[in-house]
C-alpha cells in the first residue's frame, strides 16, 4: 500500500491542491450554513458568552485547517509543521466546548427541535470525540503524509454536520434528521476515495478509517441515547431548565 501511494513531486503537488480545494469546500458549507441562519434571523449574536466562545474556537479551527492545507499546497512544509502543534491545544478545547455547548443548548431551549433531545445529548459529544480520535491518529501518523492528510480531512468532514444542518430542510427529515445530517458529511470522504481510485488505482485505507470511526461513534451515541439510562439521564439534565418543556422526541413547532 505504501508503494501504491508513493507520488512524485508533480503528482504530490496536485494531490495537495486537491486536499486544499476539499478543505475549502468543507469550510464553505460551514460558513454558508451559519451565515444563512444569521441572515434569516434564526440565530443572532444575542446569546450567552459560551455560545460565542464555542463559535470562535470552532471557526478558529476551520481557519487553522485552511491555512495548514494551503501551506502544504504552497510547499511551505516547515511552517505547516510548526503550526501543526497548535492542534495539541486546540482540539482538547474543542472537545470541552463541544460537551459544554450541548448541555447549554439543551437546557436553554431543548436543543434543535428536529432532533430527539436524548439523541442530541449523546450524539453531539460522540461526534466531537470521533473528530478528536481522527485528529489524534493523524498527528500520531504525521510522518506518514499519505495517512496524515487523509485522516485530517476525514476529521474535518466529520464536523461539517452543523453546516449541512443549517442548509438542509431538517424538519422534513424527521425522524432521521440526525443520521442524515451526519452521513451526508461523508460525501467529502467519498470524493477523496474516488480521486484515489482514479489516480492510484486503489483506495487508501485511511479513507476507510475516516468513514468507520465516525460511524462507530454515531452508532454508540445512538445506542446509549435510546437506552433506559440514556433517556433518564436526559430528563435529569433538562429538569428545572426551560428546555424541559419540549418533548423528548423531535417535533414540528
219-239 pLDDT per residue, tens: 999 999 999 999 999 999 999
C-alpha to C-alpha distance for 121 and 112, rounded to whole angstroms:
11
- Asked if 46 and 215 touch (Cβ cutoff 8 Å), the reply is no
Phi, psi of 247 (to 5 degrees): -70, 155
- The beta-carbon contacts of 49-52 under 8 Å, at least 24 apart in sequence, are 50/97, 50/100, 50/101, 50/104, 51/101, 51/104
Q: State the CB neighbour count (10 A cutoff) for residue 239.
A: 10
The pLDDT of residue 35 is: 84
- Residue 193's pLDDT is 96
Name the helix (H) or strand (E) containing 64.
Answer: helix 49-73
**CA pair distance 226, 248, nearest whole angstrom:** 11
Q: Where are the domains of the chain?
A: 11-239
Q: Which regions of the chain does DSSP assign to beta strands (E)?
A: none
Q: What is the pLDDT of residue 3?
A: 45
Residue percentage of the chain with pLDDT more than 90: 73
Secondary structure (DSSP) of 4-54? TT---HHHHHHHHHHHHHHHHHHHHHHHHHHHHHHHTTSS-S-S-HHHHHH
Section 7-11 average pLDDT: 57
Secondary structure percentages of the chain, helix, strand, coil, to 5: 75, 0, 25
For 156-209, the pLDDT digits (tens) are 999 999 989 888 999 999 999 999 999 999 999 999 999 999 988 999 999 999
Percent with pLDDT over 70 in the chain: 92
The answer to whether the beta carbons of residues 231 and 248 sit under 8 Å apart is yes
For all residues of the chain together, what is the average pLDDT? Answer: 90
> What is d(CA 73, CA 153) in angstroms, rounded to the nearest whole number?
14
The answer to whether residue 45 scores a pLDDT higher than 70 is no
Cell readout for 8 is: 512524485
Amino acid at each position: 500500500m505504501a508503494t501504491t501511494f508513493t507520488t512524485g513531486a508533480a503528482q504530490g503537488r496536485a494531490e495537495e491542491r486537491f486536499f486544499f480545494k476539499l478543505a475549502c469546500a468543507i469550510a464553505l458549507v460551514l460558513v454558508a450554513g451559519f451565515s444563512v441562519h444569521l441572515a434569516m434571523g434564526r440565530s443572532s449574536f444575542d446569546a450567552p458568552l459560551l455560545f460565542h466562545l464555542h463559535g470562535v474556537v470552532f471557526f478558529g479551527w476551520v481557519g487553522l485547517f485552511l491555512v495548514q492545507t494551503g501551506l502544504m499546497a504552497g510547499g511551505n512544509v516547515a511552517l505547516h509543521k510548526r503550526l501543526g502543534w497548535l492542534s495539541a491545544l486546540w482540539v482538547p478545547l474543542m472537545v470541552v466546548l463541544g460537551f459544554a455547548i450541548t448541555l447549554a443548548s439543551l437546557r436553554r431551549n431543548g436543543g434543535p427541535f428536529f432532533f430527539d433531545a436524548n439523541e442530541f445529548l449523546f450524539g453531539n459529544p460522540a461526534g466531537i470525540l470521533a473528530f478528536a480520535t481522527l485528529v489524534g491518529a493523524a498527528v500520531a501518523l504525521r510522518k506518514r503524509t499519505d495517512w496524515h492528510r487523509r485522516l485530517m480531512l476525514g476529521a474535518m468532514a466529520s464536523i461539517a454536520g452543523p453546516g449541512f444542518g443549517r442548509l438542509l430542510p431538517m424538519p422534513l427529515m424527521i425522524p432521521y434528521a440526525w443520521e442524515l445530517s451526519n452521513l451526508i458529511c461523508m460525501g467529502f470522504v467519498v470524493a477523496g476515495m474516488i480521486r484515489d481510485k482514479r489516480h492510484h488505482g486503489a483506495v487508501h485505507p485511511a479513507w476507510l478509517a475516516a468513514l468507520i470511526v465516525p460511524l462507530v461513534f454515531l452508532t454508540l451515541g445512538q445506542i446509549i441515547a435510546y437506552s433506559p439510562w440514556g433517556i433518564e439521564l436526559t430528563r435529569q439534565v433538562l429538569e428545572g431548565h426551560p428546555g424541559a418543556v419540549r418533548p423528548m422526541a423531535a417535533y414540528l413547532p
